Chain A
Amino acid sequence: AAGVIQSPRHLIKEKRETATLKCYPIPRHDTVYWYQQGPGQDPQFLISFYEKMQSDKGSIPDRFSAQQFSDYHSELNMSSLELGDSALYFCASSLGGGGEQYFGPGTRLTVT
């Protein structure tokens, strides 16, 4: 069965650069969530979209923005990168804005 696709899988950026992470949800899923997992930490919710509209916002820095497109894929844009942004970024999708969320393999962002 098709799973959540994230690209790129690995990304290395320097401080103050920008990064764009992409997420392709499971077909027919209409809700996308973004989570950040720092080293040795549990995943922290960043932001979610339901039917292309922002549905909830967590501890996402103002330097980050995201959107969901007409084909339901989502992009997380990160600007003025800081060393502390180094983490695993997971995207998850679900049907109907609740219930089980299915996670992608993650993007490992390293900021040097």
Chain B
Amino acid sequence: DQQVKQNSPSLSVQEGRISILNCDYTNSMFDYFLWYKKYPAEGPTFLISISSIKDKNEDGRFTVFLNKSAKHLSLHIVPSQPGDSAVYFCAASALGGTSYGKLTFGQGTILTVHP
């Protein structure tokens, strides 16, 4: 039962353009969402997060949008750079419950930014 889904296994974008990575979730108890970037043989690197009380959070080139009614979030990277090429994981947690913040991950999307 995949509670967090990233339906696009890969995404290819030209340098300078916008990258949009999508994520859907099914568990309505999730109230905190995070995006991680991962290179091979390294641990996930935290990028940006959003609480369910917000619908947008921005940090430099990265913006996360949350649509609670659709149970959908997206990560926008503008402008995309070749160094952004990596696997991007969406993750969710239920901070309001008793889970103490354990993360449920999506399957990941491989982003390739071409020069």
- What residues make up the interface of A, taking CB atoms closer than 8 Å to B? 4, 6, 31, 33, 35, 41-45, 48, 50, 55-56, 58, 90, 92, 94, 97-106, 108
Contact B46 A100 (CB under 8 A): yes
Which stretch (B13-21, B37-45, B69-77) binds chain A?
B37-45
Q: Name 15 interchain pairs, CB-CB below 8 A, sorted by A.
A: A35-B103, A42-B89, A43-B44, A48-B101, A55-B100, A56-B102, A90-B44, A92-B43, A94-B101, A99-B49, A100-B34, A100-B49, A101-B46, A103-B43, A106-B42
B100 touches A97 (CB 8 A): yes
CA–CA, A108 and B42, complex, Å: 10
| Stretch of B60-68, B78-86, B104-112 at the chain-chain interface | B104-112
Taking a contact as CB atoms under 8 Å apart, the answer to whether B44 and A103 are in contact is yes
In the complex, what residues of B have CB within 8 A of residue A55's CB?
100
Assuming A31-B101, A45-B103, A56-B100, is B43 touching A98 (CB within 8 A)? no
With A31-B100, A98-B32, A106-B43 already in contact, 10 other A-B pairs whose C-beta atoms are closer than 8 Å: A43-B105, A45-B102, A56-B99, A56-B102, A94-B101, A98-B95, A100-B34, A103-B43, A103-B44, A104-B43
B22 within 8 A of A: no
CB-CB under 8 A from A94, the residues of chain B are 101
B interface residue numbers (CB < 8 A to A): 32, 34, 36, 41-46, 49, 89, 93, 95, 98-108
The CA-CA distance from A80 to B41 in the complex, in Å, is: 26
| A106 to B, closest residue via Cβ | B43
CA of A100 to CA of B64, assembled, Å: 15
B41 to chain A, nearest CB (A): 8
- Please give the distance in Å from A29's CB to the nearest CB on chain B: 12
- Asked if B46 contacts A48 (CB within 8 A), the reply is no
A44, A101, A103, A108: which contacts B101 (Cβ < 8 A)?
A101
Among B44, B89, B93, the residue within 8 A (CB) of A98 is: B93
- Tell me the complex Cα distance, A6–B49, Å: 24
